[in-house]
Amino acid sequence: MNNYLMGAFLFLAMSVRMLVSLGSYSGEGKEPMFGDYEAQRHWMEITYNLPAEDWYRNSSKNDLMYWGLDYPPLTAYHSLICGYVANWINPDWVKLNESRGFESYEHKLFMRYTVLVADILIYIPAVVVFCNTCLHSLDKLQQILEIGEAGICGLTHLCCMLGTFLNQQRQHAAGAKQAVSIQQGFV
């Protein structure tokens, strides 16, 4: 595949991911579970603070009913690496049983950057290797379509962010409608 075309696709993929990461996330500020963002943060907390044999066991230090680690060990080790980086930047982010629901702008950026870094180090090289080894016999249009298929994973990011945005707009509109009806009641 043409290196310029591949570079353009990679730039576009990373640009979309970065733009999507500017929005809010599902569960933001909503106790008691705080959404998937909190699940990812909590997994860093658990893997960083507990020995591997306790990651999947219910205990006083690991309440499996509160975002228990339910992904395979490879994902847990990814959370562990991110947990070490998080602790190095700000230990409050991964304090065992004290950081539940932790939300800050800096931490949100950290969480989003861990996704971008994983994409750059693992996902995108895998797509490039796949294209260079498995798609070399296809014509250019078919290669573009295959790369587009790989990009569908990125749609998950976009759909989650769009859903959160639309939900916020719906809530804002409902609040505005309620305010208007209250004002009309005073007239």
Residue pLDDT, tens place only, 20-68: 777 777 777 777 778 788 888 899 999 999 999 999 999 999 998 888 8
The larger pLDDT score, comparing residue 187 to residue 82, is at 82
Structure tokens belonging to residue 135: 């798609």
Kindly indicate the confidence band of residue 127, based on its pLDDT and cuts at 50, 70 and 90: confident
**How far apart are alpha carbons 174 and 169 in whole angstroms?**
9
Quickly count helices (H) and strands (E) in the chain.
Answer: 7, 0
Output the pLDDT for position 89. Answer: 97
Please list the helix, strand and coil fractions of the chain in percent, rounded to the nearest 5, in that order: 70, 0, 30
First CA to last CA distance, the chain: 68
Whether 137 shows a pLDDT value over 70: the answer reads: no
What is the CB neighbour count within 10 angstroms for residue 168?
A: 13
**How far apart are alpha carbons 140 and 94 in whole angstroms?**
46
User: What is the identity of the amino acid at 130?
Assistant: F
Whether 169 shows a pLDDT value over 80: the answer reads: no
Angle, CA of 76, 81 and 82, to the nearest 5°: 95
Whether 183 shows a pLDDT value over 60: the answer reads: no
Whether 123 shows a pLDDT value over 60: the answer reads: yes
**How far apart are alpha carbons 88 and 76 in whole angstroms?**
18
Q: How much is the average pLDDT of 159-174?
A: 50
The larger pLDDT score, comparing residue 87 to residue 114, is at 87
What is the CB neighbour count within 10 angstroms for residue 143?
A: 21
Whether 125 shows a pLDDT value over 70: the answer reads: yes
Kindly indicate the confidence band of residue 162, based on its pLDDT and cuts at 50, 70 and 90: very low
**How far apart are alpha carbons 158 and 187 in whole angstroms?**
43
The larger pLDDT score, comparing residue 14 to residue 94, is at 94
Output the pLDDT for position 4. Answer: 77
Residue pLDDT, tens place only, 21-34: 777 777 777 777 78
**How far apart are alpha carbons 138 and 127 in whole angstroms?**
15
Q: Is the dihedral of CA 116, 119, 125, 130 positive or negative?
A: negative
Q: How much is the average pLDDT of 91-108?
A: 90
